[in-house]
């Protein structure tokens, strides 16, 4: 199994606290890419998910790479699993989700399918995937897995350490090294504040086009 070096842990508390007050779609007004495919959708109720990606490439129905990743989880990580086009065999179920949850994971994102959906809902941690199935991965200890490298999830390339920001509508990948990220978040927060007044004006039958200065 290939295991890439991980970057040191970062202190994201302030940034993540700001993102908690913004909708991903509001931030999406100001970016042109980075959204994962809408086929990767929330399978449990999600208000917000924000954290650093911990990536796994799992090309075989072998649970070993996921178990190894669970041992490396840091609090606030999001477990991100690239199933390499296998949308039939589930790699996450109740026990994997419980292990991730108790390790402090902020969520799980799978380009593939999961199982035990009722139990996953009870755990309450954000879970995104393409769907569910009843055939599951198992421990095989075969070569081919890869940890902490770059993976492709829903058409977006994600590296360990990237910021994932999601809600019930979908997920944005954010580059934590982007020098303009703080400005983007500030613009989104200003948009959210402005929309408080817009809701009142729209109820008073003001024109949305005029509010947007589009007319």
Tell me the binding residues for substrate: 93-96
Instruction: Give the pair of three-digit tokens for residue 32.
Output: 């042109």
Give exposure, 143-153, as e/b (b: 16+ Cβ within 10 Å).
eebbbbeebeb
* Helix (H), strand (E) at residue 202: helix 181-203
Report the C-alpha gap between 26 and 8 in whole angstroms: 30
* Helix (H), strand (E) at residue 78: strand 77-82
Helix ranges (DSSP H) in 73-112: 94-102
Rg (CA), the chain: 19
Q: Residues comprising the binding site? A: 93-96, 116
SS3 126: coil
Q: Residues comprising the binding site for Mg(2+)? A: 116
Report the C-alpha gap between 111 and 154 in whole angstroms: 6
Report the C-alpha gap between 109 and 128 in whole angstroms: 5
Instruction: Give the pair of three-digit tokens for residue 192.
Output: 């959210």
Strands 107-111 and 77-82: parallel
Report the C-alpha gap between 62 and 70 in whole angstroms: 14
């Amino acid at each position: 199994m290939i295991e890439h070096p991980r970057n040191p842990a970062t202190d994201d508390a302030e940034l993540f606290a700001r993102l908690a007050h913004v909708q991903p779609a509001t931030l999406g007004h100001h970016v042109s890419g980075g959204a994962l495919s809408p086929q990767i959708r929330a399978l449990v109720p999600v208000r917000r998910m924000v954290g650093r990606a911990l990536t796994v490439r799992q090309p075989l129905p072998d649970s070993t790479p996921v178990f190894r990743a669970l041992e490396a989880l840091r609090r606030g990580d999001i477990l991100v699993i690239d199933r390499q086009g296998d949308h039939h065999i589930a790699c996450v179920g109740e026990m994997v989700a419980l292990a991730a949850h108790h390790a402090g994971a902020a969520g799980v994102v799978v380009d593939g399918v999961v199982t035990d959906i009722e139990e996953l809902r009870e755990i309450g941690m954000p879970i995104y995937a393409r769907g569910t199935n009843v055939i599951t991965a198992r421990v095989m200890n075969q070569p081919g897995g890869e940890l902490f490298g770059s993976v492709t999830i829903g058409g977006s390339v994600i590296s360990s350490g990237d910021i994932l920001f999601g809600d019930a509508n979908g997920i944005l990948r954010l580059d934590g090294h982007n020098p303009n990220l703080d400005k983007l978040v500030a613009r989104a927060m200003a948009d959210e504040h402005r929309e408080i007044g817009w809701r009142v004006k729209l109820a008073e039958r003001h024109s949305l086009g005029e509010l947007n200065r589009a007319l």
